[in-house]
Every structure is written in C-alpha cells, then in structure tokens.
Structure 1
Amino acid sequence: MKTLTRNLEVCDLLDIRNPQSVAEYAPQIYRYLHQEEKRHMYPQDFLLCNQSEITEKMRAYLIDWLSELHLIDKYIMLQGDLRKKDLQCLGITALHIACKYEEIYPPELKQILRVTDNAVSKEEVLALEFQILQTLDFNVTFPSILRFMERYARIAQVQERTQLLAQYLCDICLLDCTLMKEKPSKLASVCLFAAMRLAKPQAPTVWNATLTKNTGYKEEEVRGMAMDLIKFVKNVEQSSLQSLYKKYMSSRYMEAAALLSGATN
C-alpha cells in the first residue's frame, strides 16, 4: 500500500479510505485514459465525410437537447449516411443506452419515449439500439471531456460553483464540431482553466505546476483556446441553443453560467 500511495495527489490521499474511489489507482487509470483518448479522436470534417442530410446545425440542436452523449458522434462517424428523420430516434436511443450503462436504476423505456410525445416507437428504439451497439462493437466507454475535467478539478481543489462552470463549458464544447478534433484531455484543461480564470479574474495565475503535470498542458497551451471558448459560449447563449444555458442558470447548478456575464478578453 505504501508503494501505491507514495506519489498520490492530495485529493487522492484524502480519499484513500473510500473503497469506491480506488484512489490508489488514480494515476494509472488516468494514464490509461490519456493513452486511450488517441483511439477515439474525430476528424474535423466527420459529418461532411459521412452524412448528406445531417448538418452541423442539426447535430448542435441534438447535443444541446441531450448534452453529454458521445455515443451519438461515434455512431454518426462509423455508420455512414443517416436520414434527417432518424435524428430524434438516434437521440432517444443513445439516451436509453447511456441510462442503462450509467444508472443503477435506469428509467423504463416507456418513460424515455414520453419525451418524444411517443413520436418514436418502442420497436424503433430497440432495433436501433441493437444496430448502434453492433456498430460500436459494444464498446460504449470512451474517455470523455467531463471525466478528465472532474479529475483535474479535484486536483485543483476548486469550489463547487467553479467546477459547475467548467462542466457547463465542457457541455458547450460538444456543440462545436470543429472542437472534436481536439483531445478530450485538452478540452477539459481548457474548460477548467477558463472557469478558474472567470472565478478569480484578479488572480495573477490559476494554473500551477501540479495541474501542468497531471493534465500534460502548460498554461500557454490552453490560455488562447480558453478565451476563444468564452467568446463561443457567449454566441451560443444568444442563439436558439438555450437548453444548456437554462440548465446551468438554475439554482440546482448554482447559476454557474452567470459567472460568464462579466467576462472580457
């Protein structure tokens, strides 16, 4: 045990007695995820290459509705041409798969179908579920922006509202197809840096050597992209893509999106 805990971060040492956190293996787990993310990169033009009906704008509306569902992009990239009318069924089916994978007590399919006002049938969802899982070779675990960000936020020991703002930025990243060419670990670093800078605008620096070591990115590698992301978020908030903004302006999420209101370059 002493060998395993020798090089742990403070946040992992605090969790060492929690068997569910497996804190002693955190460095190995995230080292593996950094290696694995290279296998799940999306080319910037993955929609143009594979789709004739599904546009970037349509995808953005779907992601805005469902937020963090990497199954959708992975399936779109691998499947080939999809029909525009299949987009709603794809969204509901991806949600159904994600719920079964993530939740201890997932909602019944009939509950999920109510979201569509029964515009999609149970039979359609079950058929597409099998098709998606076959296309993905039943691999529904991907290194995600959110998982990396949560790890980095724990290392930085940021306040809850700052982490929720970083989470909001992670979700917003998914709306822009051009960002899919970036590694999830880099996007997570950019989102956390932006959130920390917005939370402490007067601080001389928010990125330290510990974050550089654990993320693999120096401040100068994320700063410019973070400023561009803030501009993009402000444009999204003024568009018709309002689901994420409303979510993170709710009291449940501590009105984290409001931290962006005074942001400048």
Structure 2
Amino acid sequence: MLLLQALNPALGYYLSTQTKVSPVTRGILINWLIEVHSKFDLMHETLYLTMNLLDRYLSQVPVQKNEMQLIGLTALLLASKYEDYWHPRIKDLISISAETYTREQILGMERIMLKQLKFRLNEATPYVFMLRFLKAAQSNKKLQQLSFYLIELCLVEYEALKFKPSLLCASAIYVARCTLHMAPVWTALLISHTHYNVSQMKDCSDMILRFHKAAKTGKLRVTYDKYMKSERSNVAVLKPLDKLPL
C-alpha cells in the first residue's frame, strides 16, 4: 500500500496546467459526483477510486470545461466496474446527466481514460488507508463515521491534493479523535501503523479542521448533508474544535 503511494506521489497543484478548468469547477463536479455515488448506492471504495481516476486524468490531459461532467461520470463508471458488485448502466448515467451525453461518448471516454491511465486502476486511495488506520485506532462507530466525514470533506477541496493519502487519513483520524475528546489523542500503535506523529500531521490537521469549520455554511454541502443522517451517526452535527491541541 505504501509502495503504491510512493509510486504515485501527491498530485499537488496540477490544475496549473489546465487553462479551462479551475479548482472551483473541480469542486462543483466532485460535490455532484458524491451525490451521484450515493444515489446509485455504490461502495465507499468506488467513491475514492473515482476521485483518484478523475484527478490523475486531469493532471495529464488538457480538457474543456464542458467535458468535465463526462470525465467524472466515466471515472465513476470505471471505478464501479473495478470496485463494486455492480456498476450503473450507461443509460442511467445518461439520464442522471440530463441527457447531456450519448452512449457513444461515454464509451469513447472510457477507452480514452483507460489508455491514458495505462489501465492502472489499482491505486492507493484514502479509503484503503482509512480502513487500516481505523483498525489501529480501535475505533468505534462514531470515530469511524467522523473520520470518514472529515476525509470526504477533503475530496472537494483542491488544496488537499498537496498531501499524500496516508497523511490525509492519519490527520483526519487525529482531528476526529480530538473532536471526540478521546485520550490519548494519538497512540504508539497509531504512530506505528500510520508512520506519522502529531507534529508531522500539523499542517494537514489544521487544514482539515478548517474544512470542518466551513462545512456547515459552505456552498458544496452534499457531504455535510450526507453525514447529518442517522445512519452516519449524525456526525456532521458535532461542533468543530476551535483549535487542535498541538
């Protein structure tokens, strides 16, 4: 897992190479894709691989703004084929895009993306790290849901791409443990499994706390609304910390 991550470093500010796509455009698309993912009731793994495929493709190929939704839907289709028990039908993807694209366009983009990404779909996404780190955290349901809420808030934020998936996940769990007033907030077991201590997580944790504070009043509210539900332990209702105990 760490080897896969090493082979695929953080993408950083890749949109500087795009002339027609901005961080705002990316955020709006991902916010919508999270909603689409929920409507199709796809697995967690599929969501995170979708984002990975989307960002990797955008980091390599200049695209037009009107292609973004097509690329996003195709990334979702590819991810669901790889990770899920089933995948949405092409006609359902066409319908959810308000008939913006044709079957031929989606299948054509699928071929283009697979070729551009060299058919590499086995990637170290945040989801994989979250499962491992939460086990080391000996998490309960509330910690698990809050950690996933925080990492999902990162998905729409372009700024988060400067951090490696493993660091994002470790920091999300750290912020969640602090928010839930767990003691100790970070353990030797977590250091052993994540390979991060508290000081190494400072910048990333501060960023995640900032996202947490902004979630309730932000414009991209799909994740906030999703984690307000009882099946997500209503963790979005939890008050963010004023600051972290670093």
Does the TM-score normalized on the shorter chain lie above 0.5? yes
Partner of 1:110: 91
**TM superposition shift of 1:231:** 1.5
**One-letter amino acid matched to 1:115:** I
Q: Deviations over 1:134-166 (max 9, x none)?
A: 000000121011210111101211111211111
* Counterparts of 2:206 and 2:185, CA distance in 1: 14
Aligned equivalent of 1:58, options 17, 25, 38 = 25
**TM superposition shift of 1:84:** 0.5
Aligned equivalent of 2:157, options 176, 183, 199 = 176
Aligned equivalent of 2:201, options 198, 204, 222 = 222
Partner of 1:73: 55
Partner of 1:136: 117
Contact 1:162 1:196 in 2 (8 A): yes
Q: What secondary structure is seen at the aligned counterpart in 2 of 1:237?
A: coil
Aligned equivalent of 1:87, options 68, 79, 82 = 68
Bigger drift between 226-235 and 211-220 goes to 226-235
Which has the greater radius of gyration? 1
Unaligned 5+ segments in structure 1 are 1-32
Contact 2:167 2:204 in 1 (8 A): no
What is the total number of aligned residue pairs between the two structures?
228
Unaligned 5+ segments in structure 2 are 35-47
Aligned equivalent of 2:213, options 195, 213, 234 = 234
Aligned equivalent of 2:170, options 186, 189, 211 = 189
* Counterparts of 1:152 and 1:54, CA distance in 2: 34
**One-letter amino acid matched to 1:184:** P
**TM superposition shift of 1:169:** 1.2
**TM superposition shift of 1:181:** 2.1
TM-score relative to the length of structure 2: 0.87
TM-score relative to the length of structure 1: 0.81
**One-letter amino acid matched to 1:250:** K
Question: For the structure 1 residues 162 and 76, does the alpha-carbon distance in structure 2 shift closer, same or farther, using more than 3 Å as the test?
Answer: same
Contact 1:38 1:183 in 2 (8 A): no
Partner of 2:242: 264
**TM superposition shift of 1:238:** 1.5
* Counterparts of 1:237 and 1:47, CA distance in 2: 27
Partner of 2:128: 147
Partner of 2:106: 125
* Counterparts of 1:258 and 1:115, CA distance in 2: 29
RMSD: 1.6
Partner of 2:145: 164
Contact 2:10 2:162 in 1 (8 A): yes
* Counterparts of 2:11 and 2:94, CA distance in 1: 32
Q: What secondary structure is seen at the aligned counterpart in 2 of 1:78?
A: coil
**TM superposition shift of 1:95:** 1.0
Bigger drift between 215-224 and 126-135 goes to 215-224
Partner of 1:48: 16
